[in-house]
Structure 1
Amino acid sequence: MCPVVPQPLGVSIDGHLHGFRVTLAFLLSMCLSRMTFTAACPPPCLCASDIVSCSGLNLSTVPPDLPGYVTRLDLSHNVLTALLLDWPDRCLDRLTTLVLSQNAITHLAPDTFAPTPHLRHLDLSSNGLSRLNASAFHGLGELEVLLLFGNHISQTMAGAFQGLSSLERLYLGGNRLTAFPLELYQRDGDLPCLRFLDLSMNMVRQVPVQSLLSLATWQQSGIYLQGNPLVCDCALRAMLEYWERRQYRPLLDFREEYPCSLGQEEWLNCSASPQGGFHGTVEVSYQAEPGDWLMVPCPGVSLPLREGLMVFWVTPGDGSPALGVTDGQSSRLTVLTNGTLEIRGALREDSGTYSCVAVRGRHRSSNETLEVTVSVGNPSGLGKSGEERSSGGEHFNTAFTTLASCVVSIVLVLLYLYLTPCRCHGGKAGGVGGCGGRAMLLCADPREAELADRRVTGGKRVAFLETGGEHPHKCRAKHPVMDAAAIEGILKNGSRALEQVLEEHVA
């Protein structure tokens, strides 16, 4: 706020009016200049609302006095060589995007990005970084995208990406990495949200095939390995063939940049079919009870296996381990030397779809599959995804509902028959004499209808009655009563038997 200068006591307003105006104008100009200074765009950058662009200005240092309201800051195409801890002179707590590409940055100090705690997109591509310090990205818990391609990174230091709990996409292409950075997925969950990894155009020669098959990442977004000098062997050929079968986009989009083309498996001596006779199979299903011992052959693989053939089994569930022939024999799930999956002491959680990864050596038709479905316990309870189906329960509920409806109908009919009062005494209330048409009544005996209002006997019978001319005050049976066999048939056969019996007596 601008300070208010009060009029001095005992001083004439007319005598000092000019001085007061000068003082007020001076203070007002200072306030306005301060407001303009704090909100002004730092020269020689360009500003548009909350975007500040300082790109292509040959800057060697970050401009001072960056506005605190900036959400996107572009410092690309300059000659910055390092980012020190005090590179901004204030906390940029609204900054979400920082572009530092096409500079000469070779060093990132620890806690470099502490002044930008809400950063979500960081572009450090095309710089001179050769290593990443352990605390370079400390404090970026909201970062989602990190671009590091086009640098000189030869290895990822332990803890370099620690704290990036929200990171989803990591671009490391065009560097000098010689090994697959498997620690990104294994080190205490440093990157639990990582779904995209670009390792293209590096110097990687070997990849951990079995570990890659265990990662859920390759199935969701992808791992890009094109442009690396990968050594083609049976394990890599089996994985690439499996990826082709599963229509894996990172492989299909850059297939010409991968080794191990179709037809190389012969000179690699790792074809699954020695005579070239691939026998495709429709989906195979196995049913077992808990505790059973299962032997599941690999579909489409002819026995005996060639020497050097690699067989892997991908187990159900995201992040479940892939099994190989070289695994220890102590596990309940083991891959034998002939490629057969052995499940010892089957459990219900073993149910699901298993995929056999091996070199087949030819394209397959659409009805050929590499998958095997295993169900432990309920044969119809589990499908490919291992989730329980409710069809059996639905059939049971339908049958139970039908049976309950029949029982309730029979009980209601019997209650109607046995609890209907045998009142055939007309005329007392001015009504029509007799039972008034054909009716179904309960009487102890046709001759004891007079006493029906006063006592109940044990031998009740069912009869069809009409109004009688000779004895208007008695219920006279027109047809013989039902016997015990008819009643038993009603109870067994339900309402249909009851209708049939009633029709026979009415006729």
Structure 2
Amino acid sequence: MSSLGLVAPVLWWLVAELLLWESFMQRAGASLHTCPGVCICASDLLSCVSRSLSLVPPGLPMTATSLDLSHNSLLQLQDNWLARLPRLHTLRIGHNRVSHISAGAFQNASRLTHLDLSSNRLHSVEKHFFQELTNLEELLLYNNQIARVDTSALVRLSSVQKVYLSWNLLTDFPFTALEEGSLPQLKIMDISSNRLSSIPVDKVIALPQTVKNGLYLHNNPFMCDCTLYSMFLHWEKSGFNSVHDFREEHTCLALRQPRASLRFLKHRKMFENCTSAAQGLIGMADASFKGAVGEPLLIGCNTSLQDEQTTYLWISPNKELIAHSSSINQTFKLHSNGSLEIRKAQKEDSGIYICMATNKRLMRNESREINVTVHHGKYEGEGFNTGLTTLLGCVVSLVLVLMYLFLTPCRCWCRPPRNPTPPNECSAQSSILSATPPCNDDASRKASSGKHVVFLEPVKDCQNGKIRLAVSEEFSDSKSPKILQLKSDSGSISSVFSDTPIMH
């Protein structure tokens, strides 16, 4: 009996534990799969659109990977409000009234890849907003009231590819946050339709080519400036999407007048007098070097980091890394000042070279893009030699024409012949601008009085095979003769013009 008395309490304890565990699992299951009444749930998708919500509804299912709270009246994002959504990767809060984001609002949202905060009432982008979003790929902040972006606001977004900041109130932007290596995955940075009146062109042109290709700056009230115009013109020639896609929307204010907005990429007459100094500044980032096949070519890396502690790396057009450790390469040699030497340039060495300078002491890095073209023969003299050859060819042609017109090989034809030409013989001299038939025995070829004969074609019996002369059949009675046609055989030409006046 004593043993049964000991077993009974144990059984009751096990039953109680099972009941508690069942209750816990039921509550956990409810939190996993229940859906708030104001939302629509479909598997792992949760939509609470246009429900006039001023607060985030409680009881959001933990299985949600996509949450849409757009078109509501949310005012702020509190700390840890996403703690119960560990799988969330897409969050849409567009078209709300959010003006404040707490420091820990995204503390438990490290998996988030898409964040839409467009069409809200944010006044700035602070440093603490997105520090936890290391996997974020797309950030939408357009159509807010943002007037300032903190320099470090985007520094932790190492995976971000697209950032949209258009239609805000920005008068300045930290372009240093876009430097080489800061945002390695960045493809689009849209700062269009803001209030930028100027930008630091020297810093912008030093940005990587991939960033400039997606750096949208159109529809800003820029003051018309030669340097700015030259930069955008260069981007247009380079085929950058940031200019090509919105070419008509690139405007500037002529004479600093707000109403004098000019489409400077379409109407370029105002910039015809821009000095070469602006072009030289643009050339800092995109220089060009030309060399000859088989000769050495030295390419400079023109950066502002001219320091002994600066290290240099080059990337060839074939995407090959060129560093000091690879200077033993038979094709390239990297000098200590950052210059790259192509020992024996070949045509296949042509292309875009990228130079990257890094200074750890200054904690800065810069990159330059250099266009290299290798020609056959020395490039420097090519234009001169081609022009000289063309000029000499023209002079020789002119001399030959003058010789043909004014130098007669034999002038004996202008004197009366001492011995008449035999009836069956005829030389080329008898076909030189003569009004009489070339042979005495051809009565059918007499020139009629109604024709002004310039060239007479010799008869077949005495033709010398050198030249044939045509006769105009429709001359009028005017005194000026007409030259109709000059027919030549394949043989050499022995007939020339004469200074003797034409008889008719």
* TM-score normalised by the chain length of structure 1: 0.51
Q: Distance in 2 between matches of 1:66 and 1:321?
A: 56
1:135 partnered with 2:112: no
Pick from 210, 214, 217: which aligns with 2:206? Answer: 214
Taking a change above 3 Å as real, the CA distance of residues 375 and 172 of structure 1, as seen in their structure-2 partners, is: same
Taking a change above 3 Å as real, the CA distance of residues 262 and 375 of structure 1, as seen in their structure-2 partners, is: farther
Structure 2 counterpart of 1:278:
none
Pick from 7, 27, 41: which aligns with 1:47? Answer: 41
Q: Distance in 2 between matches of 1:133 and 1:249?
A: 29
Q: Is the 8 A contact 1:147 1:170 kept in 2?
A: yes
Question: Which residues of 2 match residues 67-106 of structure 1 at below 5 A?
Answer: 67-88=61-82, 90-106=83-99
Taking a change above 3 Å as real, the CA distance of residues 27 and 72 of structure 1, as seen in their structure-2 partners, is: closer
Question: Which residues of 2 match residues 128-277 of structure 1 at below 5 A?
Answer: 128-186=121-179, 189-218=181-210, 221-259=213-251, 260-266=264-270, 269-270=273-274
| Alpha-carbon offset, residue 105 of structure 1 | 0.4
Q: Distance in 1 between matches of 2:270 and 2:19?
A: 91
Q: Distance in 1 between matches of 2:204 and 2:188?
A: 13
1:385 partnered with 2:352: yes
Taking a change above 3 Å as real, the CA distance of residues 35 and 225 of structure 1, as seen in their structure-2 partners, is: same
SS of residue matched to 2:124 = coil
Q: Distance in 1 between matches of 2:69 and 2:78?
A: 15
Structure 1 stretches lacking a partner, 5+ long: 1-7, 11-23, 274-282, 295-314, 332-346, 355-373, 390-507
| Alpha-carbon offset, residue 221 of structure 1 | 4.5
Q: Distance in 1 between matches of 2:49 and 2:127?
A: 29
SS of residue matched to 2:70 = coil
Q: Distance in 2 between matches of 1:51 and 1:193?
A: 27
Structure 2 stretches lacking a partner, 5+ long: 1-5, 9-17, 252-263, 278-287, 311-331, 355-371, 374-504
Q: Distance in 2 between matches of 1:109 and 1:74?
A: 19
| Alpha-carbon offset, residue 247 of structure 1 | 2.0
Taking a change above 3 Å as real, the CA distance of residues 146 and 219 of structure 1, as seen in their structure-2 partners, is: closer
Q: Distance in 2 between matches of 1:175 and 1:159?
A: 19
Structure 2 counterpart of 1:344:
none
SS of residue matched to 2:290 = strand
Q: Distance in 2 between matches of 1:31 and 1:100?
A: 32
| Alpha-carbon offset, residue 31 of structure 1 | 6.0
Query: Alignment RMSD, CA only?
Result: 4.2
- Alpha-carbon displacement from aligned partner over 1:202-256 (angstroms, at most 9, x marks no partner): 0011122232222224567411111111112111121122122122222122111
Structure 2 counterpart of 1:286:
291
Q: Distance in 1 between matches of 2:207 and 2:223?
A: 21
Aligned length: 296
Q: Is the 8 A contact 1:122 1:147 kept in 2?
A: yes
Q: Distance in 2 between matches of 1:27 and 1:271?
A: 82
SS of residue matched to 2:67 = strand
Q: Distance in 2 between matches of 1:235 and 1:201?
A: 21
Q: Distance in 2 between matches of 1:52 and 1:204?
A: 39
| Alpha-carbon offset, residue 286 of structure 1 | 2.3
Q: Is the 8 A contact 1:137 1:162 kept in 2?
A: no
1:112 partnered with 2:105: yes
Taking a change above 3 Å as real, the CA distance of residues 286 and 189 of structure 1, as seen in their structure-2 partners, is: closer
| Alpha-carbon offset, residue 150 of structure 1 | 0.7
Taking a change above 3 Å as real, the CA distance of residues 40 and 269 of structure 1, as seen in their structure-2 partners, is: same
Q: Which one-letter code corresponds to 2:243 in the other structure? A: L
Q: Distance in 1 between matches of 2:21 and 2:333?
A: 81
Q: Is the 8 A contact 2:151 2:174 kept in 1?
A: no
Percent identity among equivalent residues?
Answer: 33
